[in-house]
Chains A and B, each alone.
Chain A
Amino acid sequence: MKQIVLIVILAAVAAAVPLFVGESPYFMGIMISVLMMAALSSAWNLLGGYAGQYSFGHAAYFGAGAYTTMILISLFNLNPILCIVAGMVVACIIALITGSIVFRLRGHYFALASIAVAEIVRLSVLNFEFTGGAQGILLSDVSLWGLDLNSKNPFYYGMLLVLVITLAITAQLRKSKTGFYLQAIREDQDAAASLGINLAFYKNKALLISAVLTSVLGSLYGVYIRFIDTSAVLDLKLSIEIILTAIIGGVGTLWGPVVGALLLVPLAEMLRSNYLGDVLVNAGLVSETSAFGLFLKENLAHAHVLVYGIITVLCILYLPKGILGLFRRVK
């Protein structure tokens, strides 16, 4: 109950943010990314954190939502809400296929198979005609209930809503029978099975909830950006970003993914917009015209994945329970 109250309070604070920022599309853009990554990572955390099943292919569900929605809107001009529901159905089908194949196995196999499924989805989308292939899908116009979809606000609240729902589900799950079953599976699969827990059923349940939430975020992302291609919504890189966010914040904690997203997304944005390079130049550490300065200017924007790699390695070696895990240990 305490957690639910906290979620509601923080959601109310987050809901008020656009009123104060007003018309800063740049800031709102970053905030939408933070909310989206927090929600994606929380949805992943349901399966990875609580059931201990590390999916390395969550991009497949994100892409399923994004592609289903974009295709249906661009071909039939359906109501976006219906498209989101269709995306959820497609994600469910992919999740059920994946789950039925791999949840009979343990350990390394689920991680490997989840990548294989995601790659099959990615390559299929790339090779089919109706998905736009390598060119992706561009949406010129979209409307819903007279909302101004050119402004960022509807998407900010949309992402926030999904995040709140995901956190609420997580908070409820932790105290429910299913939640305890999942944690038992995570801690010791054999012991859980010997106590009569149906392993495949509960793992599939967690995967389905996680996949459906992820697909809704994919749908929102597609309509928000109005352009998708496989490298944006189906790449392994996205799956890994989702995991890293949870790891850095704290796997298997309610707020870990949110903390991870608040740290990582602005960091990535700083690197992408070359803020770090500018700081080094302005501080007089590097001359802008020197070879090294030019190199930084040219390449540092591409370095955010490198920084992610370094953070992952340091995190696993020194902070395997994430930032929130650190606090818990102190307590």
Chain B
Amino acid sequence: MLLFLQALLSGTLTGGVYALAGIGMSLVFGVMNISNFAHGDLMMLGMYFAYFAFTLLHIDPYVSLVLIMPTAFLFGFLMEKVFISRVIHHPHQNQILLTVGLGLIMSNTALLVFTSDPKILTTTYSSSAFNLPGGIYLSVPLVISFLITCGITAILSLFLLKTRTGMALRATSQNREAAQLMGINVAKMSGIAFGIGTALAATAGALIAPTYYIHPLAGHSFLLKAFTICVLGGLGSVAGAGVGGLIIGVVEAMSSTYISSDWKDVVVFVLFLAVLLLRPQGLFGKKGEQ
């Protein structure tokens, strides 16, 4: 029972950070109808950003988010304007390949510049933990990351629900043509969506940097997790991605505890295929687009 609760709680905490990456990807998918295969590599860049902000400038990884988010937003916005916007009406295979290519450029440039030695970001609280009554302990960096994730998600929800830009984003996501006819600048919305998606990916990367190995090819496994989260929640559904992230985090922690940590990714991908087989629209998606 103790083991179960422990896995449930730490899974939820990790899942929160996964959710952030998943939400970013889902937003891009919803607004632009593009599967962003560079998403994992954007997370990897966020990890390195946090690492160098900490080692060179001595900025705490959580404080460095203030720098990372606007930089990543700008990076994503420009990436959309220079590359992605040019294939928005192409067949989706071309869109996928373009983002694959951009991802390869990012990860392999990182490999050249940062070399393949994994880096570890060690803060004073990296290995400390909160001890809860009953013998459960929660890693301090994971708790902080989870709280920050909740804050960012809340702000993002308010932005999407209450502001004019947020409403325009949701309108574009529902029906691009109709939104354009209503006078919404859909090209600008694509840029904003991709910028937010990139910012969320980089933030997720920075948030897990204190608890993971930082490596140029780390994005690869996060990419597949982000996809699983999106499909689980229903491609394009932001709320679904949030819940999907928590589910994946818990599933991962449970399979590490009860099967073995070697097989946890396999369990996640089997879950992914099972969702495709049984409920392809995802837990919260609408039927019809599959």
Contacts from A to B (Cβ < 8 Å): 48, 52, 54, 56, 101-102, 104-109, 111-113, 115-117, 119-120, 123-124, 126-127, 236, 240, 243, 247, 299, 302-303, 305-306, 308-313, 316-317, 320
Q: In the complex, how many angstroms separate the beta carbon of A209 from the nearest chain B beta carbon?
A: 20
Which residue of A102, A107, A116, A313 is within 8 Å of B224 (Cβ)? A116
Contacts of B90 in A (CB 8 A): 316, 320
Could you say which of A52, A112, A308 has the most chain B C-beta atoms within 10 Å of its C-beta? A112
User: Given A240, A299, A316, which contacts B104 in the complex, CB threshold below 8 Å?
Assistant: A240
Q: Does A247 lie within 8 Å of B97, measured CB to CB?
A: yes
Interface CB pairs A-B, < 8 A, 16: A56-B96, A111-B93, A113-B272, A115-B224, A117-B269, A117-B273, A120-B269, A127-B262, A243-B97, A305-B108, A306-B104, A306-B109, A306-B111, A308-B101, A316-B90, A320-B90
Known interface pairs A108-B35, A127-B262, A312-B98; A54-B93 also in contact (CB < 8 Å): yes
Residue on A with the closest CB to B265? A123
Given contacts A119-B265, A127-B266, A247-B97, contact A313 B102 (CB under 8 A): yes
Judge whether B108 and A109 touch: CB under 8 Å. no
B108 touches A312 (CB 8 A): no
Tell me if B169 is interfacial: C-beta within 8 Å of chain A. no
Contact A308 B97 (CB under 8 A): no
**Residue of A54, A56, A108, A240 ringed by the most chain B CB atoms within 10 A:** A108
- A-B interface, 5 closest residue pairs, ranked by CB to CB distance from nearest: A309-B104, A312-B101, A306-B108, A309-B105, A313-B101
Q: Which residues of B contact A303 (CB under 8 A)?
A: 108, 112
In the bound complex, CA of A240 to CA of B31 (Å): 26
Q: Size of chain B's interface in residues, with CB distance under 8 A?
A: 40
**Does the CB pair A312–B227 fall under 8 Å?**
no
- A105-B290, A243-B97 given as contacts; is B112 within 8 A of A306 (CB)? yes
Q: A68 CB to closest chain B CB, in angstroms? A: 19
Contact A113 B276, CB 8 Å, known A123-B265, A309-B103: yes
Contact B220 A236 (CB under 8 A): yes
Enumerate chain A residues within 8 angstroms of B92, measured Cβ to Cβ: 107-108
Residues of B within 8 A of A236 (CB): 220
9 further A-B pairs in the complex, CB-CB below 8 A; given A113-B276, A127-B262: A54-B96, A101-B276, A106-B290, A120-B270, A123-B265, A306-B104, A312-B100, A316-B90, A316-B98
A305 (CB) vs chain B CBs: closest residue: B108
Chain A nearest CB from B230 CB (Å) reads 9
Complex: A24 Cα to B120 Cα, angstroms:
46
In contact, A123 and B83 (Cβ under 8 angstroms)? no
Which residues in B have their C-beta under 8 angstroms from that of A113? 272-273, 276
Contact B280 A105 (CB under 8 A): yes
Rounded to whole Å, the gap between the CB of A238 and the closest CB of chain B is: 13
Which residues of chain A are near B269, meaning CB under 8 Å? Answer: 116-117, 119-120, 123
Q: A243–B101 Cα gap in the complex (Å)?
A: 11
**Shortest Cβ gap from B254 to chain A (Å):** 17
Smallest CB–CB gap between B226 and chain A, Å? Answer: 11
Q: Let me know if A240 and B273 touch, CB within 8 A.
A: no
Q: Which B residue sits closest to A307, measured CB to CB?
A: B108
Contact of B86 with A by CB under 8 A: yes
> 1/0 contact trace for B216-250 toward A, CB 8 Å?
00001000100110010001000000000000000
* Least distance between B94 CB and chain A CB atoms (Å): 5
Q: Are A313 and B98 in contact (CB under 8 A)?
A: yes
Q: Which of A104, A302, A306 contacts B105 (CB 8 A)?
A: A306
In whole angstroms, what is the CA distance A256 to B91 when docked? 19
Report how far A319 CA is from B136 CA in the complex, Å: 57
B249-290 interface with A by 8 A CB criterion: 262-263, 265-266, 269-270, 272-273, 276-277, 280, 290
Chain A residue at minimal CB-CB distance from B220: A236
A106 vs B91: C-alpha distance in the bound complex, in angstroms?
13
Chain B residues in 8 Å Cβ range of A104:
280, 290
Residues from chain B with Cβ under 8 Å of A309 in the complex: 101-105, 108
Identify the closest chain A residue to B113 (Cβ).
Answer: A299
Known: A305-B108, A309-B108. A316 touches B97 (CB 8 A): yes
